[in-house]
């Protein structure tokens, strides 16, 4: 099997698996005062410190969660419910992940207003449009992707954070797709922002970098006002009550250390593989079009998102799958429902085009063999998939 869907989830790192097993074998609730509990507490807080170092933040700012979706929900719901009086608007760029879109939709049902802004033709948030929208009366908070999880385009997160700070609006950044693949520092992005404004929250997930699924974190600035989703024992600054997953935290922290330590060299390796894959596909299927930023440095290192005109995504994915290759048509977080990519449509493409895209994403275990496997079958798969589309008309 050739796995080219690392953006959905990547291989569990053996080191992270070993760390999880090591810590999970011990007994102790990190909130207990006896010796076993305090040993668990020490491992938990050491893991928090290690993850904080990888994220460029203070340990107290790390709130462990169950993953990216929970982190996004805690940030957006918590910020909106703690908003300044009279402010109800949420600044929402097009093309965000469904965790963000659906959370904002739920808040809209509670009275939130949505201030929407578009993307440019490669899927990037326009900083000037973002800044102008922040100035609108009644904006309570803003959210944005550090890098688009589908087409891979990298946003200017520093400029977005600076715009939010200048407008005295709190900003949440979704860094789930970016963490471990791009340089990332919460403190550097936050800069000298005033209390409660600018970058105040940042979401990450463990399974994107080789930690177990079900691990994640929300970085919350010391000065941020965020209402909790869960109430109970008051763990983690009262922002996420409940018994903490010590083994998951330890495995996530180790995976983060490894990913950040390897990031520069791994990005260079993945860019080479990705560029070879994209160029090889377009050579074999001349009508195929690379979506997202065409500049190799302007997109996530392992992302090659292509439009295959006339070939339904599900048909092409099926043919690739039976040939031993795993890819996707976009985000894996849509409950397996086949629908046109809202991200591709946000680039100004038609619904038909949005139903004819494939996202190939490479990761730590990817090699030239995986690229060769795709290039060996893509022309035939495209011919068969586009033929089935023609016959179905």
Mean pLDDT of 43-68: 98
Mean pLDDT, the chain, whole residue set: 95
Read off the pLDDT of residues 4-35 as tens digits, 9 standing for 90 and up. Answer: 999 999 999 999 999 999 999 989 999 999 99
Confidence of residue 331 (pLDDT cuts 50, 70, 90): low
Confidence of residue 242 (pLDDT cuts 50, 70, 90): very high
Confidence of residue 137 (pLDDT cuts 50, 70, 90): confident
Confidence of residue 157 (pLDDT cuts 50, 70, 90): very high
More confident residue, 136 or 290: 290
DSSP 8-state secondary structure symbol assigned to residue 235: T
Picking from 233, 256, 279, the residue at the C-terminal end of a domain is 256
Note if 57 is an active site residue.
no
Mean pLDDT of 250-262: 98
pLDDT at 74 (0 to 100): 98
Inform me whether the pLDDT recorded for 339 exceeds 90: no
Rounded to the nearest angstrom, the gap between the alpha carbon of residue 316 and the centroid of all alpha carbons in its chain is: 25
CA dihedral in degrees (261, 193, 165, 143; nearest 10)? 40
Is the domain of 203 the same as that of 330? no
Q: Which residues contact 148 (CB under 8 A, 6 or more apart)?
A: 95, 123, 154, 155, 177, 292, 343
Is the domain of 119 the same as that of 176? yes
- List the domain range (segments joined by +) for residue 177: 14-256
Q: Catalytic one among 182, 333, 375, 377?
A: 333
For the chain, how many structural domains are there in total?
Answer: 2
Is the domain of 47 the same as that of 113? yes
The CATH number for 160's domain is 3.40.640.10
Picking from 191, 221, 256, the residue at the C-terminal end of a domain is 256
Inform me whether the pLDDT recorded for 338 exceeds 90: no
Picking from 215, 241, 256, the residue at the C-terminal end of a domain is 256
Is the domain of 91 the same as that of 231? yes
Inform me whether the pLDDT recorded for 391 exceeds 90: no
pTM beyond 0.85: yes
DSSP 8-state secondary structure symbol assigned to residue 34: S
Q: For the beta carbon of residue 181, count every other beta carbon within 10 angstroms.
A: 27
């Amino acid at each position: 099997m050739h796995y080219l869907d690392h953006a959905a989830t990547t291989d569990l790192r053996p080191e992270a698996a070993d760390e999880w097993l090591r810590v999970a074998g011990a007994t102790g609730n990190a909130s207990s005062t006896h010796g076993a509990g305090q040993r668990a507490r020490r491992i938990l807080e050491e893991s928090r410190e290690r993850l904080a170092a990888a994220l460029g933040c203070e340990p107290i700012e790390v709130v462990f969660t169950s993953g990216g979706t929970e982190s996004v929900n805690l940030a957006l719901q918590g910020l909106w419910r703690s908003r300044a009086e009279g402010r109800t608007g949420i600044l929402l760029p097009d093309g965000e992940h469904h965790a963000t879109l659906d959370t904002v939709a739920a808040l809209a049902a509670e009275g939130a207003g949505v201030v929407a802004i578009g993307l440019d033709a490669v899927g990037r948030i326009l900083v000037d449009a973002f800044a102008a929208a922040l100035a609108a009366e009644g904006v309570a908070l803003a959210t944005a992707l550090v890098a688009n999880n589908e087409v891979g385009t990298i946003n200017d997160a520093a400029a977005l954070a600076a715009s939010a700070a200048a407008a005295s609006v709190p900003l949440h950044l979704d860094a789930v797709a970016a963490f471990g693949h791009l340089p990332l520092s919460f403190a550097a992005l936050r800069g000298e922002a005033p209390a409660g404004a600018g970058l105040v929250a940042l979401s990450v997930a463990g399974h994107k970098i080789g930690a177990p699924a079900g691990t994640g974190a929300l970085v919350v600035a010391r000065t941020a006002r965020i209402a909790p989703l869960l109430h109970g024992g008051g763990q983690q600054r009262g922002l996420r009550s409940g018994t903490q997953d010590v083994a998951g935290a330890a495995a996530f922290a180790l995976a983060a250390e490894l990913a950040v330590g390897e990031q520069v060299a791994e990005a260079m390796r993945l860019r080479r593989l990705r560029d070879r894959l994209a160029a090889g596909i377009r050579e074999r299927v001349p009508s195929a079009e690379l979506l997202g930023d065409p500049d190799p440095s302007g997109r996530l290192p392992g992302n090659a998102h292509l439009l295959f005109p006339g070939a339904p995504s599900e048909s092409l994915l099926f043919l690739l799958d039976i040939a031993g290759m795993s890819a996707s048509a976009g985000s894996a977080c849509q409950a397996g429902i086949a629908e046109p990519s809202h991200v591709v449509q946000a680039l100004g493409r038609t619904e038909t085009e949005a139903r004819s895209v494939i996202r190939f994403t490479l990761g730590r275990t990817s090699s030239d063999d995986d690229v060769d496997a795709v290039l060996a079958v893509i022309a035939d798969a495209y011919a068969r998939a586009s033929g089935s589309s023609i016959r179905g008309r």
